Structure 1
Amino acid sequence: MNGRYVAVGDSFTEGVGDANLMYPNGVRGWADRMARQLGKADSSWEYANFAIRSKRLDEIVDEQFDAALALNPTLISFYAGGNDILAVRADMRSIMDRYESALDRLVSSGADVMLFTTFDVKISTALEPLRRRIVYYNDAVRTLAARYRCLLIDHTQYREFEDRRMWAFDRIHMSKVGHKHLAAYVLGELGVPHTLKLPELGPFESPDWRETLRTEGRWLASEVVPLMRRRMNGVREGDTLPPKWPDPIRPADGMKRLARARSGDAMEVHERAAHVA
């Protein structure tokens, strides 16, 4: 199996939660890990990733689809709608109607399309309306995957993600371990062997109540309050970030080396512009 893999989406596919300064935008993520394994299986594989954090469904379609489809991919991964679900108001029927229109466009390109459910976490009864949105979204994605004959990565069925170590400190994005596990699942669904080293987590030992209180305090101060402040100010992290891999690369050539080369090219352009000014 070989070809050109192109990813579109939001922070889920950009790789947020899997911090790595050696990669564009400071994150690695399951898609980069998967692409590297595709390159190991067949060095001719090419890869591009347009996913950017904070983006909603319509933004992903408007800002990423044209460039992604212009690359004539043979495989496309599409995850969108998570940020729409988290909005204060969300018309799920409208969201999924627009999701289907986007999906139809991807499928019509002739590429194989890979879809994802969102993980259905156990949450308090106070957030039950959010969980109902997640259930609606997942049921709709399953239906559309069958209707359009897409490959479905049913994330919510992988119950080991109930372990909090699969998640970053923000409790929204997967951790490095979580991204690794998801990459392994995707490769398994594609039938591609991999060399990913998946750590054995062992039983989770809950901290005592004092440590729990300290952790909750840090989480509120470092994650919840800044998030609410950004939303009130209309500021989003993704608004100033470029796509990680907008031009196709060959992962077999070494993704860290390719990232360094790209960073060097960008710096040279910046220095030339400064000199001309």
Structure 2
Amino acid sequence: MSNNADHQETLHIHSYASYAALGDSFTEGLNDPGPDGQFAGWADRLAGLLAAQRPDGAFQYANLAVRGRLLDQIVAEQVPQIRRIQPDLVTLCAGGNDILRPGSDPDATAERFEAAVAELREHAGTVLICTGFDTRDVPVLRHLRGKIATYNAHLRAIADRNGCAVADLWSLRSVHDRRAWSDDRLHLSPEGHQRVALLAARSLGLPTEQDPESPWPAAPVLSPADQRRENLQWARTYLLPWVGRRLRGESSGDHIEAKRPDLLPL
């Protein structure tokens, strides 16, 4: 009986006919160039893995994520679209931009996140959420590690209460390698996006030929002087402009629209 139930569950997990991704720059896929000139990213890569599980080729995908979006903006702009398109699967990765802001409250952010999840559960077959990354090795952001851990604890509890799948990015050790991140150190590299896609697929029960935790090839070790030089260059090129936008109340997503607002075949 148990084996038959497991088999039926596996068939259900592998038969998503539609998928919608909600979120910010992480889900939009920043710094993972796609063949069409837009960013691809882990959600696009996950959509490809899901489509491959459909022998009939009947698979549709929407990506409503927009860079820079705060949780309340995602709830106001993206979540209502799920009522309209009613996908089999929806992923919600949100709240990270809120947590990065000074004075933010991870407890209050989690309450608003759970309200969004409850609404999504009414209009989507399966909801998958992502925890935040462990920022222990990231300059500046390492100081927010405690807030991120608190938010993550809430997210796991929310998933338990609402029957959601979880892609636990905090536990993904392979992204602690510098090569998993692009030059700005805030967004994943193409290989980093691929590893998150594999983790998300496995969180949904999909088998993957590649392992998200597969070892990286050996890399040259930078001297302390080279590391300091690299950190200074990063601060001038990426950190200061990022801080400047925050101080001016600007967002990298101003005037940007979702790249796939409707369910379409891949």
TM norm. shorter chain > 0.5: yes
Q: CA deviation at 1:132?
A: 1.4
Contact 2:90 2:124 in 1 (8 A): no
Match of 1:99 in 2: 113
Is the counterpart of residue 39 in structure 1 residue 51 in structure 2?
yes
| 1:204-237 deviations in Å (ceiling 9; x for gaps) | 4321234223312220111011112222222211
Q: CA deviation at 1:36?
A: 1.6
Distance 1:237 1:140, change over 3 A: same
| 1:50-82 deviations in Å (ceiling 9; x for gaps) | 001111100000011112331011100001100
Match of 2:206 in 1: 192
Q: Paired residue for 2:157, among 143, 163, 175?
A: 143
- Same amino acid, percent of matched pairs: 33
Letter matched to residue 208 of structure 1: S
Match of 2:262 in 1: 247
| 1:186-210 deviations in Å (ceiling 9; x for gaps) | 1222233456698862234321234
| TM-score normalised by length of structure 1 | 0.83
Which secondary structure does the structure 2 equivalent of 1:237 belong to?
Answer: coil
Letter matched to residue 22 of structure 1: D
Distance 1:174 1:74, change over 3 A: same
Contact 1:29 1:176 in 2 (8 A): yes
Letter matched to residue 39 of structure 1: A
Distance 1:194 1:46, change over 3 A: farther
| TM-score normalised by length of structure 2 | 0.86
5+ long unaligned stretches in structure 1: 252-277
Letter matched to residue 245 of structure 2: R
Contact 1:2 1:44 in 2 (8 A): no
Q: Paired residue for 1:30, among 25, 42, 46?
A: 42
Q: CA deviation at 1:115?
A: 0.8
Letter matched to residue 218 of structure 1: Q
Worse-matched range after superposition: 166-175 or 48-57 = 166-175
Worse-matched range after superposition: 42-51 or 108-117 = 108-117
Q: CA deviation at 1:19?
A: 2.9
Q: CA deviation at 1:128?
A: 6.3
Q: Paired residue for 2:226, among 204, 211, 219?
A: 211
Which secondary structure does the structure 2 equivalent of 1:32 belong to?
Answer: helix
Distance 1:51 1:187, change over 3 A: same
Letter matched to residue 27 of structure 1: F
Contact 1:17 1:174 in 2 (8 A): yes
Letter matched to residue 44 of structure 1: A
Match of 2:252 in 1: 237
Worse-matched range after superposition: 134-143 or 222-231 = 222-231
Query: For 1:95-134, what aligned pairs fall within 5 Å after superposition?
Result: 95-123=109-137, 130-134=144-148
Q: CA deviation at 1:107?
A: 1.1
Match of 1:65 in 2: 79
Query: For 1:171-182, what aligned pairs fall within 5 Å after superposition?
Result: 171-182=185-196
C-alpha distance in 2, partners of 1:127/1:46? 36
Letter matched to residue 202 of structure 1: P
Q: In proportion to residue count, which structure has more helix?
A: 1
C-alpha distance in 2, partners of 1:10/1:124? 20
Q: How many residues align?
A: 249
Q: CA deviation at 1:41?
A: 2.3
Match of 1:87 in 2: 101
Distance 1:240 1:85, change over 3 A: same
Q: CA deviation at 1:153?
A: 0.8
